[in-house]
Chain A
Amino acid sequence: GAGVSQTPSNKVTEKGKYVELRCDPISGHTALYWYRQSLGQGPEFLIYFQGTGAADDSGLPNDRFFAVRPEGSVSTLKIQRTERGDSAVYLCASSRGRNTEAFFGQGTRLTVV
Chain B
Amino acid sequence: GESVGLHLPTLSVQEGDNSIINCAYSNSASDYFIWYKQESGKGPQFIIDIRSNMDKRQGQRVTVLLNKTVKHLSLQIAATQPGDSAVYFCAESLNSGGGADGLTFGKGTHLIIQP
A binds B: yes
Residue of A nearest to B49 (CB): A101
Known A-B contacts A41-B107, A99-B95; the reply to A56 vs B43 at CB < 8 A is no
Known A-B contacts A40-B5, A100-B98; the reply to A106 vs B42 at CB < 8 A is yes
Q: Are A40 and B8 in contact (CB under 8 A)?
A: yes
Binding site secondary structure of chain B: loop
Q: Are A48 and B102 in contact (CB under 8 A)?
A: yes
Closest Cβ of chain B: how far from A32's Cβ, in Å? 10
Q: What's the Cα separation between A35 and B91 when bound, in Å?
A: 13
A59 is an interface residue with CB less than 8 A from chain B: yes
Of the four ranges (under 10, 10 to 19, 20 to 34, 35 or more), the interface on chain A belongs to 20 to 34
Residue of A nearest to B101 (CB): A48
Q: Are A91 and B43 in contact (CB under 8 A)?
A: yes
Q: A-B contact count, CB below 8 Å?
A: 75
A98 is an interface residue with CB less than 8 A from chain B: yes
A113 is an interface residue with CB less than 8 A from chain B: no
Closest Cβ of chain B: how far from A50's Cβ, in Å? 9
Residues of A within 8 A of B100 (CB): 31, 33, 48, 93, 95, 102
A110 is an interface residue with CB less than 8 A from chain B: no
Q: Are A102 and B46 in contact (CB under 8 A)?
A: yes
Known A-B contacts A42-B107, A104-B45; the reply to A99 vs B102 at CB < 8 A is no
B residues whose Cβ falls under 8 Å from a Cβ of A: 3, 5-8, 41-46, 49, 89, 91, 95, 97-108
What are some 5 contacts across the A-B interface (CB < 8 A)? A93-B43, A97-B99, A98-B95, A99-B99, A100-B98
A residues whose Cβ falls under 8 Å from a Cβ of B: 4, 31, 33, 35, 39-45, 48, 55-56, 58-59, 91, 93, 95, 97-107
